[in-house]
Structures are given as C-alpha cells and as structure tokens.
Amino acid sequence: MKLFLDTANKELIKQWIPTGVIDGVTTNPSLLALESGNIKSMLLDICNMVNGDVSIEVVEKTPERVYQQAKEISSLAKNVVVKIPFAQEYLPVISMLTKENIKINVTLIFSLTQALLVSKLGVKYISPFIGRWDDIDVNGMNLIEDLVIMKQNYGFKSEILAASIRNVIHLQDSILAGADVATIPPTLLDKVFKHPLTLQGIEKFDSDWKKLGKTKLFD
C-alpha cells in the first residue's frame, strides 16, 4: 500500500520525506489556499522534493478550459497527476487526456457507479472520499470495500486512492479493505507515529536501562 501526504505545505513535506514512508503527495484548491507565495513555483518545488506522484487539481469549470488547464498542469513535471472532479461533462475530457498518456486522478468519488465509469477510461487513480460520507452518518468504508471488489471482478488498472481520511480508524480500515493508496494529512500521520503504548514502552525500556547505571551498550 502506498501512503501519500495530503498537504501543499512544503515544510511539512520536507519533514516527512526523509522517513521513507511517503510515496507521493496530493493537493487540492483548499490546501493551496492555505499557503502563501507563487502557486506555480510552490508546486514545482513540491514535485522536485517528491519522488512519487504529485496530484494537482484543475480549477477551471468548462470542459474546454479543464482540458487546456489539465495539459498545462501535466507539463509542470513528469511526476504530476492531474486531479479532475467527477462530472458527466468531464468524462470526454478525461477520455482524451488518458489517450494522450496524461495521468489522471478523478476526485470526489462517492459511488460505485461513478468509479466504474472512470475506471473504464483508464485513469491512474480513483479518489473515493471516506470522511464526507461519515459526516452524514453513512459508513464511508463500505465504498472502499465495494471498489476493491469491483477492481478484482473486472481487472481494472485504476488505483483506489482512499481520501478524506479523518482518523486512524479510517486509515486502518483502508488498509484492511485493500485500498491501493491512502492519502493522509500530516496531523494524522503524527498520531500514527506517536502511539501512546509505543511511547510508554520506550519510557519503560529507558527506565529499566538507567537502573543498570550504564551509558554504553557494550563496555
């Protein structure tokens, strides 16, 4: 399973890249709006920092403008993936872009049938949103499980990218369901690394070692 960092903050990306566990980055207009400075320059820096895919979302609305902006975004770097929200009017655009070997991440997927349609177009990633389903008291993980079954049944190549992950349970359930990728906000990744029982265990080991009165492992 691949882990992507869901942020446009360069400092946070710099912090996590050396851990070796980050396989890519996802951004969206809301995340970009949180940052300051030239957007193009910022995105180029992120692409250079990350070895894996970097998803950048279109902000245009008409199919013609979405197509042109997608081409512009894809030209930024070899590891760019163009994010396009699911909409019927964008399907012809997505079809054209995939035929031009432009990597596409279709975002805001909320149903199995939406995922089926874009899988047939050969997109690189499908991004079902978990947390937003949970916000309206629907178990968002059911969609991830359904997508995994669909992919197994029909041999689609599109990778299931679990998005809108709000807590550790969402991440754990995505792992168990068989999602290909999970994109995680840095605040959640902090919680994964800082499990209270792990910290307690480290403190216990340190306390027991200090009782020996030694500073070195080997004399």
Active-site residue numbers? 83
Whole-number Å distance between alpha carbons of 46 and 217: 41
The tokens for 195 are 């499990």
Q: Residue 18 to residues 14, 21, 51, 217: CA-CA distances in angstroms?
A: 7, 8, 11, 27
Q: What is the dihedral of CA 140, 55, 125, 139, to 10 degrees?
A: 0
The tokens for 94 are 């997505």
Whole-number Å distance between alpha carbons of 129 and 110: 6
Q: Is residue 89 packed enough to be buried (19+ CB in 10 Å), middle (13-18) or exposed (0-12)?
A: exposed
